[in-house]
Amino acid sequence: MASIISVRFRENGKAYDFAAGDFRPQIGDKVVVETSRGVECGDVVTACRPVPDEKVVEPLKPILRLATADDIREAAEKREKEKRAQRICQDKIAEHKLEMKLVDAEYSSDNTKILFYFTADGRVDFRNLVKDLASVFRMRIELRQIGVRDEAKMLGGIGSCGRPFCCSQFLPDFQPVSIKMAKEQGLSLNPTKISGSCGRLMCCLKYEQSTYEELLKMTPKNGALVNTPEGKGVVTETNILSGILKVRLDKAVDSPPISVKREDVTVLRDHRVKVSDNEKQQLSDLEK
């Protein structure tokens, strides 16, 4: 059994697991650990938790020490240097009139390289920009193009639900989401309703999808011919979560549909609703 904590090195960055060893840091404490990029100081985001040895993802590196006042000061100075580098890079981008948006800047742990993250609609020729930045900082310069989802994760923000972006809070990786999920969950296919601030489909469509898939298997579609305790009829409305169906009986076509429980009907002929080609064309960009 291993004692593991999770450490985050940037405010909205990904959390990484480390072996706690004899240390017992609390959430919010700063620790010094060895990463693939060198020795770094980060914030503890989960308290020590026991994990069976067979479930430990190797290689699992240990905590080197609890952060000292000098470690915390150096980390703060590094972040100030990154902010300054970001301002200088932004000015240089404007000078070169490049169609790109700078998102963040990051110094390597040994202070030999600066990595700049940016977004752009297409390919950008930034060779002259790199030369200009190298002459200013006198170190290696790397520019990395990222997607709009990664930008949202780095910068953070408030979603339409009123809560901080999931990607910047707890999602370790982006999960694939599709228009099919929105349709199966009975959501409006209006792009403004199902897309996040990044302009792509909302990550939260994935959260309850497995539940909807199970319920859809046992729920007749709108237009399905079913047999109810009161006779045959056509399903006009379904409530996936409650399991209540609205059925217009064949013997009472002019009467309002009756309400019946999902488990009390038998499907005689199913009816599947297809997404039109025009609908696919309008919404395909959200899935990219």
Structural domain spans, the chain: 2-67, 74-146, 173-212, 218-269
Output the average pLDDT for the chain: 88
Instruction: Tell me the longest C-alpha to C-alpha distance in the chain.
Output: 84
pLDDT value at position 11? 77
- CATH topology for 74-146 is GMP Synthetase; Chain A, domain 3 (3.30.300)
Angle in degrees, 0-180, between the axes of helices 127-137 and 69-96, rounded to the nearest 10: 140
* Domains 74-146 and 218-269 in one fold: no
d(CA 147, CA 45) in angstroms, rounded, equals: 26
Cβ neighbours of 210 (radius 10 Å): 9
CA atoms within 13 A on the CB side of 180: 8
From 116, 196, 93, 180, select the one nearest 148 (Cα to Cα). Answer: 196
* Residues contacting residue 83 through CB under 8 Å, at least 6 positions apart: 105
Distance, C-alpha 91 to centroid of its chain: 30
The CATH number of 218-269 is which of 2.30.30.30, 2.40.50.140, 3.90.1150.10, 3.90.550.10? 2.30.30.30
pLDDT value at position 288? 60
Counting as low any pLDDT under 50, the low residues of the chain are none
